[in-house]
Amino acid sequence: MPIVSKQDGLVFGLTGLVVWAAATAYYVAFGPQLLESAFWFYAANAFLAAVAVTLVFHGALRLRRLPRRQRPLALALYIAPGLLLGALTALKLTDLLPDLNPVSIGRYGAFMLVGYATVAVTAFERRSKRAASPAR
């Protein structure tokens, strides 16, 4: 596996940490009262959060001009803080927020997992070339 530079590793790791913190803060602020009020509202917000997390990752790829062969390691560095800290947060979620329904732990985990799965799927996509127009 090709190695990314230390600077790229730091950029992707810190970006992943900031994205995890923002997504967790959003869920803590709006999760129990708003997001969990209806399934479709929860699903739509999970989708929008996944799109945001993915756009940040691809924006960082473009800014750092990382070649395709270095994307797997960049992806691992990007999602590692969220996977580790998200698991720890899920374990202590009821301690951090005692008013929270215990069912919210699974919903928080699913909310985060949808975002990281979306990033992982799109990180390995190949850009399709445009087909030549029939008029030419």
What SS3 string covers 58-69? HHHHHHHCCCHH
CA pair distance 78, 67, nearest whole angstrom: 16
Residue 70 makes CB contacts below 8 A (sequence gap 6+) with 2, 3, 4, 8
pLDDT, mean of residues 7-17: 92
36-45, Cβ contacts within 8 angstroms, sequence gap of 24 or more: 36/101, 36/104, 36/107, 42/107, 42/111, 45/111
Query: What pLDDT, in 10s, does the model give residues 75-127?
Result: 999 999 999 998 888 888 778 777 777 777 888 888 888 989 999 888 877 76
| pLDDT digits 0-9 by tens, 87-97 | 888 888 778 77
